[in-house]
A and B are shown apart, each in its own frame.
Chain A
Amino acid sequence: MASGHPQVVTLTEPRPVRWAVIAVGLLFLALFVVLPVVSVFVQAFEEGVDGYLAAITRDETWSAIKLTLLTAAIAVPLNVIFGVAAAWLISKYKFPGKNLLITVIDLPFSVSPVISGLIFVLLFGARGVLGGWLGEHDIQVIFAVPGIVLATVFVTFPFVAREVLPLMQDLGNDEEEAALTLGAGGWRIFFQVTLPKIKWGLLYGIILCNARAMGEFGAVSVVSGHIRGETNTMPLQVEILYNEYDFVGAFAVASLLALLAMVTLVLKKGIELLQMRARS
């Protein structure tokens, strides 16, 4: 066997080494990924399917689920618009402050989420910069839904821009310029030429953005005020239930978030495959 392909021999480790390396990898994966995920579901179904459903449909939990969906439904579209607009601006135009804008887009990634939440408290809270004015007009931002939405938008805004920008820069402007010389206006160029070029990257960004919007804890925790049935999102509800030793309730909500994560991963993989097929 070795005579014809000596290089195969030198590139292949002895069998025991191979098995050892694989075993270490699998063990690690089992201990830190599979076991926790499985235990979430085991705990959630400790009292059977009925117990699980009862835990999820309890008023407080149900309103947390609705608030999470509402927050994502506002934050994700806003960040799609912002992300695509920023990527378009940066990849198609030259202007002073362009590099600053690119850096600022990454800011939410580099700042601790707790600080992100605190920024909004300092801005909109009762003693904040805009607090007085908001109080006079009876507008509640902090410890209310608007604050949660704002904090989520802030924390999740890099996702779409970060996916779409490199794609737009890579693909260049030739097709857009061609459309321009063929008489097309800006909106038509965007929807008929640019959007089809970036659609997979955009979808990818949307999915990541959505996952983070639903799962964000730190920033939201600071601005929420933890009012039961009103300003608790799913991650916050998990914490409350857990602190009250309601393990079935806590793990039932956690299982929904885990499910969201798994769906996100499957979609992400699916998009990557579609993207590869579209290119070949």
Chain B
Amino acid sequence: MKLEVEKVTKRFTVKGTPAVFDASFVAAEGGITTLLGPSGSGKTTLLRLVAGLERADEGRILFDGKDISRLPVHERGLGFVFQGFALFPHMTVRRNISFPLEVKGVEPKTRDERVDELLSLVQLEGYGERYPRQLSGGQRQRVGFARALASRPPVLLLDEPFGALDTQVRVELRRWVAELHTKANLTSVMVTHDQEEALELSQRIVVLDRGKVVQVGTPREVYDAPKSSFVASFVGSANVLSGTVDGNKATLVVRPHEVRLARKGRGSVGTVIRIVSLGASVKLQVTLPSNQQVTVQIPRGEADTLALKVGDRVAVELGTPKVFFEDYAI
């Protein structure tokens, strides 16, 4: 199975900037491909275009080489998991999950067996007769997954599936989704604005910015070799500084954990303005002579040895920052 999105454009208004512009990416068998971007980057629109909930103005969407861009939603047969769960409130969990099977005309007996199978897959055995309002958020979203999986779609589309959940439930459900994908060998395209989620779950990340795909790669590639200062600062935390390199104006990007601090040594001398202890590591805010601030994250042991206080002068070494010659306003 292979899902290809080719040069897709979608405009909601005739004049304004397109919601999605000339976007291309490929999602291959197994694992999660993540569409990552800030709000307004067009990631949800792109997912809805793939599902068929919106029609693309230009470009093609291919499924196993076949053009599906003109097919209506139900003929594409892709599973969709919604941010707000979108369960049918007047139906029990069992009927919710069995709905797509009813639509397909599956026999009641086969239907029941499949629903039991799914209830156990999402660890909700014994919850079949409850109504959605009697479940917690995490449980509701697991019903959402079960319902989307019922008719064995080749691809699942996940629209911010953890967006409506509390932090703790989110972390749990994230782990559960990762296991589910391994266990049931699922292929998914997921939308998120949470870079941590993307780094943890994805096999491949598609970074979007203002309707355009700006980089595609594995989490490692996107994190280690960002193609722009936008990607660098959006995926993983980063200090974005302006400076000059070889006489040209440049943007320098350096991760907080890459910065080295010393009581005395090379590098420019800055002033500590804030110290936050995060348990295993310590985060410091340092003002450079150029009046720009850098965030530095160092292991607890190192911080204890340095014994810095707010107001102390400290030597800052930026290591090997990534350099971008671009006009990019953050």
Residue B77 lies at the interface, judged by CB distance under 8 Å to chain A: yes
Q: What's the minimum C-beta distance from A186 to chain B, rounded to whole angstroms? A: 10
Contact call B84/A181, Cβ cutoff below 8 A? no
B11 to chain A, nearest CB (A): 13
- Tell me, rounded to whole Å, the shortest Cβ–Cβ distance linking A187 to chain B: 12
Complex alpha-carbon distance, A204 and B118, angstroms: 39
Cα-based distance from A188 to B74 in the complex (angstroms)? 13
Closest A residue to B74 using CB positions: A183
Minimal beta-carbon separation of B123 from chain A (angstroms):
21
Query: Does any Cβ of B come within 8 Å of A97's Cβ?
Result: no
Main secondary structure of the interface of B (DSSP, over half): loop
Q: Is residue B19 within 8 Å, beta carbon to beta carbon, of the partner chain?
A: no
The answer to whether B82 touches A178 (Cβ under 8 A) is yes
> How far, in angstroms, from A174 to B51 measured CA to CA in the complex?
14
Query: Is residue A185 contacting chain B, with contact meaning CB distance below 8 A?
Result: yes
Residues 177-206 of A, flagged 1 when their CB comes within 8 A of B and 0 if not, give 111111111001000110011000000000
Question: What B residues does A177 contact at CB under 8 A?
Answer: 53, 80, 82, 86
Provide the bound-state CA to CA distance between A184 and B147, in Å.
Answer: 13
B151 at the interface (CB under 8 A from A): yes
A272 within 8 A of B: no
Contact A180 B73 (CB under 8 A): yes
- Decide if B74 touches A178 in the complex (CB within 8 Å): no
In the complex, what residues of A have CB within 8 A of residue B150's CB?
182
A91 to chain B minimum Cβ distance, whole angstroms, is 16
- Contacts A174-B84, A175-B88, A193-B88 given; indicate if A181 touches B103 (C-beta within 8 A): no
* Distance, CA A92 to CA B264, complexed state (A): 66
Q: Chain B: which residue is nearest A171 at the CB level? A: B89
Q: Pick from A175, A178, A181, A184 the residue with the most CB of B within 10 Å.
A: A181
Residue on A nearest B104 in the bound complex, by CB: A183
Pair A181/B80 contact, Cβ less than 8 Å: yes
Contact with A along B80-95 (1 / 0, CB 8 A): 1010101111100000
> Does A181 lie within 8 Å of B88, measured CB to CB?
no
> What band does the interface of chain A fall in when counting residues whose beta carbon is under 8 Å from B?
10 to 19
A residues less than 8 Å from B147 (CB atoms): 178, 182
Q: Which chain A residues lie closer than 8 Å to B104 at the CB level?
A: 183
Q: How far is the CB of A280 from chain B (nearest CB, A)?
A: 9
Which among A179, A185, A196, A197 is the interface contact of B99 at CB below 8 angstroms?
A179
Asked whether A174 lies within 8 Å of B103 as measured between CB atoms, the reply is: no
Contacts of B87 in A (CB 8 A): 175, 178
Q: Does B20 contact A (CB under 8 A)?
A: no
Q: How far is the CA of A175 from the CA of B79 in the complex (A)?
A: 14
A181 close to B151 (CB less than 8 A):
no
Interface residues of A, dominant DSSP: helix
Task: For the complex formed, measure the closest distance between the CB of B54 and the CB atoms of chain A, giving whole angstroms.
Answer: 11
What is the 8 Å Cβ interface bit string for chain B, positions 169-209, against chain A (1 contact, 0 not)?
00000000000000000000000000000000000000000
Closest chain B CB from A30 CB (angstroms)? 43
> Does B100 lie at the interface of the complex (its beta carbon under 8 Å from any beta carbon of A)?
yes
Q: How far is the CA of A182 from the CA of B78 in the complex (A)?
A: 8
Rounded to whole Å, the gap between the CB of A59 and the closest CB of chain B is 48
Q: Which residues from B are CB-within-8-Å of A183? A: 74, 77, 100, 103-104, 151
- Closest beta carbon of chain B to A176's beta carbon, Å: 9
Least Cβ–Cβ distance between B162 and chain A, in angstroms: 16
CB distance from B263 to the nearest CB of A (A): 57
A178 touches B90 (CB 8 A): no
Distance (whole angstroms) from the CB of B105 to the closest CB of chain A: 10
> A182 touching B151 by the CB < 8 A rule?
yes
For residue A175, which residues in chain B have a CB less than 8 angstroms away from its CB?
86-89
The answer on a CB contact under 8 Å between A185 and B74 is yes
Are A178 and B80 in contact, with the CB atoms below 8 A?
A: yes
Contact of B73 (CB < 8 Å), options: A181, A192, A193: A181
- Please indicate which of the listed interface residues B51, B78, B88 has the most CB atoms of chain A within 10 Å of its own CB: B88
Give complex CA distance A180, B86 in Å: 12
> Are A178 and B86 closer than 8 Å at their CB atoms?
yes
Q: How far is the CB of A203 from chain B (nearest CB, A)?
A: 15
A residues 149-189 near B (Cβ < 8 Å) are: 174-175, 177-185, 188
Please state if A174 and B74 are interface contacts (CB–CB under 8 Å).
Answer: no
Tell me whether A174 and B82 are in contact (CB under 8 A). yes
Task: Determine whether the beta carbon of B90 is less than 8 Å from that of A196.
Answer: yes
- Tell whether, in the assembled complex, residue B78 and residue A181 are in contact, meaning their CB atoms are under 8 Å apart: yes
A184 (CB) vs chain B CBs: closest residue: B103
Complex: A184 Cα to B102 Cα, angstroms = 9
- Is there an interface contact between A184 and B84, defined as CB atoms closer than 8 Å? no
Query: B198: shortest Cβ distance to chain A, in Å?
Result: 23
The digit string for A251-262, where 1 denotes a CB below 8 A from any CB of B, is: 000000000000
Neighbouring B residues of A179 by C-beta, 8 Å: 88, 99
User: Which residue of B has the minimal Cβ distance to A94?
Assistant: B12
Q: Which of B53, B84, B90, B99 contacts A182, CB < 8 Å?
A: B99
Within the assembled complex, what's the spacing in Å between the Cα atoms of A197 and B51?
A: 24
Query: What are 11 contact pairs spanning A and B, CB under 8 A?
Result: A174-B82, A174-B84, A177-B86, A178-B147, A180-B74, A181-B53, A182-B148, A183-B77, A183-B104, A185-B74, A188-B103
Chain B residues with CB under 8 Å of chain A are: 51, 53, 73-74, 77-80, 82, 84, 86-90, 99-100, 103-104, 147-148, 150-151
Q: Apart from A178-B147, A183-B103, A197-B89, list 7 A-B contacts with CB within 8 A.
A: A174-B84, A175-B89, A178-B82, A181-B78, A182-B100, A183-B77, A185-B74
Nearest first, the 5 closest Cβ-Cβ pairs linking A and B are: A182-B100, A181-B80, A178-B86, A174-B86, A196-B90
